[in-house]
Chain A
Amino acid sequence: MKKRILTVAALSILGIAIAMISCNSNKSNNNAQQKSSGSTSKVDTVIISGMQFQPAQLTVSTGDTVIWINKDIVTHNVTDSLNAWTSGNIDIGNSWKSAPQKSFNYFCSIHPTMKGSVTVVNK
């Protein structure tokens, strides 16, 4: 009898653990892909580190969001290569996001030697 109770308890714990893992997994997926007006959008990240945009070349789909996170040791920005727009200063540890509608080349206007591009493709 005692053995049966222990077995049931063990199975229950296992069940709860599986449910929790599944739940966390869904949460992760939700972070990367957000349902928006019936279509799935994705969040892409560009890390600014070592005086580089990483990745320097990024391809996204229309509706996706791109986040630039400054993990470098100085302030940077993301500026359209034709100077049509700029993120403004992104201080150390801060980020800036955009949902680009079309492809563009960009650079850091503080450090013009830093360059990158985002290519937007239709879903």
Chain B
Amino acid sequence: MKALKSLTGWASGLMACAVMLSSTASAQNTPQLTDPEIASVAVTANQIDVNYGKIALRKTKNAEARQFAQTMINDHQNIIKQAVALAKKLGVTPKTNAVTQSLLKGEKEETAKLNKLKGEAFAKAYIDNEVAYHEAVINSVKTLLIPETQNAELKDLLVKVSPLLDHHLEMAKMAQAKIK
């Protein structure tokens, strides 16, 4: 519970949602998210980080934060492109669900918080959120999305995204150490 409290805004919502769905899935031994729902979660999670990156580029001059934000925009846009192309190929239409809604609710709260900040306070809040965000998303991808995905190609894409997210987290922590 302490870990949950330490996470901010949407990140805590996502984590709570992931934990809830994971335990339910485990209890009933049936997938709680369908592939169209997982596709929706994947695209939404990536788009949210693109959006945070765009806010950072607009609001900060901090070189570390800007470089990290640009990488997040480029990488997550690349993933969205591949996820959308795969969904199209498979004939899957991403379907909004409880996890997607939790992500969007968290984004709204975090965006409002970030928009109120300026200068180094913004840069710090942005990068702190990126650390929390990636920790929560990595947990959800590994414990919820990958195990519940039925389609092999969609699962393969999520598996390939995992090391990228791990590196993003490491990069976020490196930037966090420099932004104080």
List chain A positions with a Cβ less than 8 A from chain B. Answer: 50-52, 72-75, 92, 110-114
Residue from A50, A75, A114 in contact with B74 in the complex, judged by beta carbons closer than 8 Å:
A75
Q: Rank and list the top 3 A-B pairs by shortest CB-CB distance, nearest first.
A: A51-B163, A74-B75, A113-B170
Q: Which residues of A contact B167 (CB under 8 A)?
A: 51, 111, 113-114
Question: Is there contact, CB below 8 Å, between B74 and A73?
Answer: no
**A51-B163, A51-B164 are contacts. A112–B78 as well, Cβ < 8 Å?**
no
Question: Is there contact, CB below 8 Å, between B71 and A111?
Answer: yes
What residue in chain A is nearest B163 (Cβ atoms)?
A51
Residue from B79, B82, B157, B166 in contact with A51 in the complex, judged by beta carbons closer than 8 Å:
B166
Question: Is there contact, CB below 8 Å, between B79 and A110?
Answer: no
What residue in chain B is nearest A91 (Cβ atoms)?
B78
- Does B90 belong to the interface (CB within 8 Å)? no
Q: Which residues of A contact B163 (CB under 8 A)?
A: 50-52
Q: How distant is A33 from chain B, measured CB to nearest CB, in Å?
A: 33
Given A50-B163, A72-B164, A73-B79, 13 more pairs with CB closer than 8 A: A50-B160, A73-B161, A74-B75, A74-B164, A75-B74, A110-B71, A111-B71, A111-B171, A112-B174, A113-B167, A113-B170, A113-B174, A114-B167
Question: Is there contact, CB below 8 Å, between B164 and A73?
Answer: yes
Q: Which residues of A contact B161 (CB under 8 A)?
A: 73
List chain B positions with a Cβ less than 8 A from chain A. Answer: 71, 74-75, 78-79, 82, 157, 160-161, 163-164, 166-167, 170-171, 174
- Cα distance A70–B167 when bound, in Å? 17
Q: Which residues of B contact A114 (CB under 8 A)?
A: 167
- Cα distance A73–B78 when bound, in Å? 7
Question: Is there contact, CB below 8 Å, between B78 and A92?
Answer: yes
Q: Which residues of A contact B79 (CB under 8 A)?
A: 73-74
Question: Is there contact, CB below 8 Å, between B160 and A112?
Answer: no
Residue from B71, B160, B174 in contact with A73 in the complex, judged by beta carbons closer than 8 Å:
B160
Residue from A50, A52, A75, A111 in contact with B78 in the complex, judged by beta carbons closer than 8 Å:
A75
Q: Which residues of B contact A73 (CB under 8 A)?
A: 78-79, 82, 157, 160-161, 164
What residue in chain A is nearest B166 (Cβ atoms)?
A51
Q: How distant is B70 from chain A, measured CB to nearest CB, in Å?
A: 9
- Cα distance A110–B163 when bound, in Å? 15
Q: List 8 A-B contacts (CB under 8 A).
A: A51-B164, A73-B79, A73-B161, A74-B75, A74-B164, A111-B71, A112-B171, A112-B174
- Cα distance A110–B148 when bound, in Å? 31
Q: How distant is A76 from chain B, measured CB to nearest CB, in Å?
A: 10
- Cα distance A112–B170 when bound, in Å? 10
Q: How distant is B167 from chain A, measured CB to nearest CB, in Å?
A: 5
Q: Which residues of A contact B171 (CB under 8 A)?
A: 111-113
Q: Which residues of B contact A111 (CB under 8 A)?
A: 71, 167, 171
Q: Which residues of B contact A52 (CB under 8 A)?
A: 163
Q: How distant is A68 from chain B, measured CB to nearest CB, in Å?
A: 17
